[in-house]
Amino acid sequence: MSARDDILGRIRSALRDGPEAPQIPRKYRATSGLDQAALIELLVDRLIDYKAHVSVVDAVEVPTRIAELLADAKCYVVPTGLDAGWLAGLDHETGDRRRRLDSPAAPLPVAELDGIDAVVTGSAVAVAETGTIILDGSPNQGRRAISLVPDHHICVVKAADIAGILPDALRRINGTRPLTMISGPSATSDIELERVEGVHGPRKLDVIIAR
């Protein structure tokens, strides 16, 4: 008998008493009921708690803010589908020579990504209560590797994409896409449970909330 049939047989046999599957009581909150201003305030509070850097700006100011944050980067990567105009502050006449483009069709090798200082991406949805930003691999966020290997992640969150709590956020995305939920820069508490920010993932996380 195959291992598969054997195991399924064992499990069926273990359930010979016929336990019933109970109804699931979903009496927990589905939304937070907060308005946009309150959502932004809560998200900022949570992100700062994780030691992320946050700026809240009007949508038109996003390009300027990105340009400021990239001032020290020798080179940076962006997904090809990054929202048009976000890099306007860097384009001048000829385009920015520090910029590398990445897409699933034309991916940069890992070794090259390792030499890149920063990455700019959009985001799919954010959760105010937990300070979480979810990337779903859409064209404005790119492959998972580009938001992982560079040490500085600049992530733009649109105010309309902020959900109050997790159930609200998960209802807005497709679970079968390659998803990364990010809550602050990488961290560890493995040594005496003392939290240290910055391990293998990006050690610096800049979140730009665009109103």
Partner 1 sequence: MSTFLGMPSLPVFGTGNLHASESFPKAAHRELGNAQLRANLGHATHTIRDKRLKVVAELPDWEQLRDAGSAIKESVMARLPELLEQFEENFTARGGVIHWARDAEEANGIVAGLIRDTGETEVVKVKSMATQEIGLNEYLEEQGIAAFETDLAELIVQLDHDKPSHILVPAIHKNRTEIRDIFLREMPGADPHLTDDPAVLAMAARAHLRRKFLTAKVAVSGANFALADSGTLAVVESEGNGRMCLTLPETLITVMGVEKLLPGWQDLEVFMQLLPRSSTGERMNPYTSLWTGVTKGDGPQDMHLVLLDNGRSAALADEMGRSALHCIRCSACMNVCPVYERTGGHAYGSTYPGPIGAILSPLMTGIEAEENNSLPYASSLCGACYDACPVKINIPDILVHLRSVDVDSKRGKKKIPTQMDVGMKAASWALSSGKRLGLVEKGLPIGRLAAGRDRKITKLPGIAGGWTQSRDIPAPPAESFRTWWAKEHQRPEIEGARKPPQDKGDQA
Shortest Å distance, C-beta 122 to partner 1: 16
User: In degrees, to the nearest 5, what angle opens at C-alpha 108 toward C-alphas 143 and 89?
Assistant: 75
For the residues of 25-65, what is the DSSP string, one character each? ---S-S-----HHHHHHHHHHHHHHTT-EEEEE-GGGHHHH
Nearest alpha carbon to residue 36 among 136, 184, 162, 147? 162
**Taking a C-beta distance cutoff of 8 angstroms, is the pair 66, 120 a contact?**
yes
Among 34, 67, 145, 159, binds partner 1 (CB under 8 A): 145
Q: Name the minimum Å distance from CB 158 to partner 1.
A: 20
The answer to whether 48 and 110 have CB atoms below 8 angstroms apart is no
Least separation in angstroms between residue 153's CB and partner 1 is: 11
The residue type of 115 is G
- Choose the stretch contacting partner 1; rule: CB under 8 A; options: 6-14, 56-64, 67-75, 85-93: 6-14
> Among 24-32, 60-68, 69-77, 88-96, which window interacts with partner 1 (CB under 8 A)?
24-32
Pull the structure tokens for residue 10: 């064992």
Site string for partner 1, 168-207 (x = CB under 8 A): --x----xxxxxxxxxxxxxxxxxxxx-x-xxxxx-----
Q: Which of 61, 148, 158, 159 binds partner 1 (CB under 8 A)?
A: 148
Residues 6 or more apart whose CB falls under 8 angstroms from that of 43 comprise: 54, 126, 127, 128, 131, 157, 162, 209
CA distance 52 to 131: 10
Q: Is 164 in the site for partner 1 (CB under 8 A)?
A: no
CA distance 12 to 59: 57
Beta-carbon count within 10 A of 62 CB:
23
User: Which residue of 122, 137, 150, 164 would you call a contact of partner 1, by CB under 8 A?
Assistant: 137
Q: Which is nearer to partner 1, 65 or 153 (CB)?
A: 153
**Residue 93 or residue 194: which is nearer to partner 1 going by CB?**
194
Among residues 10 and 74, whose Cβ is nearest to partner 1?
10
Per-residue contact string for residues 102-121; x = within reach of partner 1 by CB under 8 A = -xxx-x--xx--x-------
Closest to partner 1 by CB, 57 or 187: 187
Q: Which CB atom, from 149 or from 209, has the smaller least distance to partner 1?
A: 149
